[in-house]
Amino acid sequence: MAVCSITATAWLAASSTSGAIQQEQGQTLASDARINNSLLGYASRHSDWSGVAGTLRDLAAQNSRRIALVAENGTLLADSATAGTPLPAKVSAVVDPLAVDVTLVPGAAGDRIDPRAVGPFLLSAHDRARLRKAADAYAACAGRTGQAVQVTVSNTGRPLVTTLSQGGGQEPSPVPSPVPTEAPAVVDVCDATIFSTPTRTEKAALKQLNLLVGKCLKGKGKDAGRGSVGLDFTWVSREKQPMPPVAEPDQVISSCVVTARREQLDPYVAPAAYLYIGSPAEGTGQRIPLPSIAGAALLVLVLTVGVSIMAARRLVRPVNALTHAAQRMRDGDSSARVTVRTTGEISELATAFNEMSEHLQRMEEQRKAMVSDISHELRTPLSNLRGWLEATQDGVAELDPALIASLVEEILLLQHIVDDLQELALADAGKLRLHVEPLHLGDLLDQVTTAHRGRAEAAGLTLTAVVTDDPPLTADPVRLRQAIGNLVTNSLRYTPRGGHITLGARQDGDQVVIEVTDTGVGIRAEHLPHVFDRFWRAEKSRNRQTGGSGLGLAIVRNLAEAHGGTATVASVPGVRTTFTLRLPSQRDP
Candidate from 10-24, 265-279, 289-303, 568-582 with smallest mean pLDDT: 10-24
Asked if pLDDT for residue 478 goes beyond 80, the answer is yes
- Cα separation, 257 vs 374, in Å, equals 64
Q: Does domain 435-584 have CATH number 3.30.565.10?
A: yes
Asked if pLDDT for residue 473 goes beyond 70, the answer is yes
- Average pLDDT of the chain is 79
* pLDDT score of 243: 47
- Return the amino acid letter for 385: L
* Residue spans of beta strands (DSSP E) within 441-575: 462-467, 472-475, 500-508, 511-518, 566-572
Asked if pLDDT for residue 462 goes beyond 90, the answer is yes
Q: Say if pTM beats, i.e. exceeds, 0.75.
A: no
> 266: which DSSP letter?
G
pLDDT classification of 298: cutoffs 50, 70, 90: confident
- Cα separation, 514 vs 360, in Å, equals 35
- Return the amino acid letter for 517: T
Q: Does domain 345-425 have CATH number 1.10.287.130?
A: yes
For residue range 139-155, list pLDDT tens digits in order. 888 888 878 888 888 88
As a whole number of Å, the end-to-end CA separation of the chain is: 61
* pLDDT score of 346: 79
Vertex 417, ends 415 and 423: CA angle to 5°? Answer: 100
- Cα separation, 208 vs 93, in Å, equals 31
Q: Is 560 within 8 Å of 549 (Cβ atoms)?
A: no
For residue range 320-356, list pLDDT tens digits in order. 888 888 888 888 787 888 887 777 787 888 888 888 8
- Return the amino acid letter for 124: S
- Cα separation, 51 vs 78, in Å, equals 9
- Cα separation, 194 vs 173, in Å, equals 16
pLDDT classification of 293: cutoffs 50, 70, 90: low
Percent of the chain with pLDDT over 70: 78
